[in-house]
Amino acid sequence: MSMKDRIAIVTGSGSARGIGKAVATELAKRGAIVVIADIHLQGAETVAAEFNDSGYKAVARHLDVTSRESVAALVADIDREFGKIDILVNNAGITRPSRILEITDEEWDLIFAVNMKGVFYCTQAVLPGMIAQRYGRIVNLSSVSGKRGGGVFGGSHYSAAKAGVLGFAKAVAREVAEYGITLNSVTPGLIDTDITGGLMTPERRELLKQEIPAKRLGTAFDVAAAIAFLASEDAGYITGEEIDINGGSHMD
C-alpha cells in the first residue's frame, strides 16, 4: 500500500493526541507528503516539525474549514507547491455535549459549520484537480453518533451533522466515481483523544469501558489504520461506504 509521492491534506491534524495526527502519521509512513492543516497553526507546526524530524515529509498550514476563502487559499497554495492533491481526509471537528433544550442557534450553526459545511467546502475545493487527474481519495470523519444518535459526548446537532456527512459522501461518491475518485466515511465510537478526554472523569471512563464489548476505548491509531486503507490505491472499488470502528459497541 505504498503512497509514495501522494499529496495528502488532513484537516484538523494539529492536535497532539488527535485522530488527525494519527491519520497523517499512517499516510506519511506509507510515503505520502502530508499537509498538516489546522485552525491552530502552532499545533500544526509542532506536528509537522515532529514528522520532518522523524524522516516523514510534512508541511504545516493554517486552515479554518468554516471559511470558503481559507479552504480555497490552502488548496491553491498546495496545488502551487506540489502540483496536485491526491488525498483529502476531512477530520476537523468539534462537539458540544448539549441536550436538545439547551442548544442555541449559535451553537447549532457552529457545530454544522465545522462538522458539515467544512466537509462540503474542502471536498468541493479539491475535486476539480482530482477530476482532472482522474484520481482521488476522500475520507470523512463521521461518528457512531451520526448513525444511532446518542453519542456519549455529542448533542443532537453533532449527531445531525455527522449523519449529514454520510449522506453527502454517498451522493458525491456517485457523481465522481467515474473519475477514479472515491469518497468514504468512518464512524468511530468512543476514541481516547482530547475531544473526549476533557469530558471524562476517571470513574466515567471506567464505566464507559465496561459498556464496550472490547472493554477498552478506541485509540487514534484504530481509526487511522482504517482511514489509511480507504485512502490507498488498493481501495479503489470501495466508495460511498462507512466503516464502524467501535470495539463492537454498535453493529449495523
Ligand X SMILES: NC(=O)c1ccc[n+]([C@@H]2O[C@H](COP(=O)([O-])OP(=O)(O)OC[C@H]3O[C@@H](n4cnc5c(N)ncnc54)[C@H](O)[C@@H]3O)[C@@H](O)[C@H]2O)c1
In sequence order, the β-bridge partners of residue 182 are 137
Identify residue 223 by its one-letter amino acid code.
V
- CB closer to ligand X out of 143 and 239: 143
Report the alpha-carbon distance of residue 170 to residue 168 in Å, rounded.
Answer: 6
Which range in 12-20, 52-60, 79-87, 119-127 contacts ligand X by CB under 6 A? 12-20
Task: Name the residue whose CB lies closest to ligand X.
Answer: 93
Q: Are strands 87-90 and 136-141 parallel, antiparallel or unpaired?
A: parallel
Identify residue 24 by its one-letter amino acid code.
A
Applying the rule CB under 6 A, the residues between 103 and 122 that interact with ligand X are: 114
Binding mask 38-77 for ligand X (x = CB under 6 A): xxx--x-------------------xxxx-----------
- CB closer to ligand X out of 26 and 38: 38
Report the alpha-carbon distance of residue 122 to residue 58 in Å, rounded.
Answer: 19
Q: Give me the least distance between CB of 248 and ligand X, in Å please.
A: 15
Which helix (H) or strand (E) segment holds residue 187: the answer is strand 181-188
**30, 79, 84, 94: residue in contact with ligand X (rule CB under 6 A):** 94
Applying the rule CB under 6 A, the residues between 122 and 181 that interact with ligand X are: 141, 143
Examine the residue annotation and report whether 158 is marked as an active-site residue of this protein: yes
| Half-sphere exposure (Cβ direction) of 73: Cα atoms closer than 13 Å | 11
- CB closer to ligand X out of 195 and 226: 195
Q: Give me the least distance between CB of 4 and ligand X, in Å please.
A: 26
**25, 91, 123, 182: residue in contact with ligand X (rule CB under 6 A):** 91
Helix, strand, coil % in the chain, rounded to nearest 5: 50, 15, 35
How many chain residues bind ligand X (CB under 6 A)? 30
Identify residue 34 by its one-letter amino acid code.
V
Q: Give me the least distance between CB of 185 and ligand X, in Å please.
A: 10
DSSP string, 80-147: HHHS---EEEE---------GGG--HHHHHHHHIIIIIHHHHHHHHHHHHHHHHT-EEEEEE--THHH
Binding mask 187-216 for ligand X (x = CB under 6 A): -x-xx-xxxx--------------------
Active-site residues, by number, are 158
The residues that touch ligand X, with contacts defined as CB under 6 A, are 11-12, 14-15, 18-20, 38-40, 43, 63-66, 91-95, 114, 141, 143, 188, 190-191, 193-196
